[in-house]
A and B are shown apart, each in its own frame.
Chain A
Amino acid sequence: AQSVAQPEDQVNVAEGNPLTVKCTYSVSGNPYLFWYVQYPNRGLQFLLKYITGDNLVKGSYGFEAEFNKSQTSFHLKKPSALVSDSALYFCAVRDYKLSFGAGTTVTVRA
């Protein structure tokens, strides 16, 4: 079975500092990896995906993620965090369905 793990329940950073949200995956075959963000009282919004090609994937709102096959990781990054980035972030892996991680709550303080 395919799965992802998000080892951190919470990440706290100061505005302007780099933000990293960690994700590791376990799949058989090629991974199809996604990041979603959930703001309060909103649905899950697609941020970016890795299917194949460049290991560094760029997505919405200045986010990027690095696919690392040897470490089976797909960490989400943003070079300079904003207060408005405070939200719940989910990593997911897909075959016919999305399998989500438990989520990481990001708090960016002013």
Chain B
Amino acid sequence: EPEVTQTPSHQVTQMGQEVILRCVPISNHLYFYWYRQILGQKVEFLVSFYNNEISEKSEIFDDQFSVERPDGSNFTLKIRSTKLEDSAMYFCASSLSGAGGLSGEQYFGPGTRLTVT
């Protein structure tokens, strides 16, 4: 069964450093997402991506964040200058249909645990 994969599983970085979290969505999916879950809190939406551009983003997704689909398979989240409060589990997800086909379920990767020290 196809699945979303994420690397690394755990990333430790120092405050102020740049990190790139990587995801490989399911191959025929067209919509891609990043969510995060701070320890003990809800899963929160960060950004959605379709047709090589951001389609929606939350207020969390400020100028420190960027996303890219550098090739036909990878989808990355970059945090330019990490802060302590960026420590969280980051989940990538993909779906076949997006908001235009609201029924499309999103398939999630196992997550990358980011620890900022």
Contacts and interface: CB of A to CB of B under 8 A. Distances in A.
B103 interface: yes
A90 interface: yes
A109 B108 CA distance: 28
Interface residues of A, number: 22
Contact of B42 (A34, A94, A100): A100
Nearest to A96: B99
Interface in A40-60: 41-46, 49, 51
Interface residues of B, number: 26
Contact of A99 (B4, B6, B45, B99): B45
Interface of B: 4, 6, 33, 35, 41-45, 48, 55-56, 58, 91, 93, 98-99, 102-103, 105-111
Given A43-B6, A44-B108, A96-B55, 16 more contacts: A34-B105, A41-B110, A42-B110, A43-B4, A43-B108, A43-B109, A43-B110, A43-B111, A45-B108, A46-B106, A96-B98, A96-B99, A98-B106, A99-B45, A101-B42, A102-B42
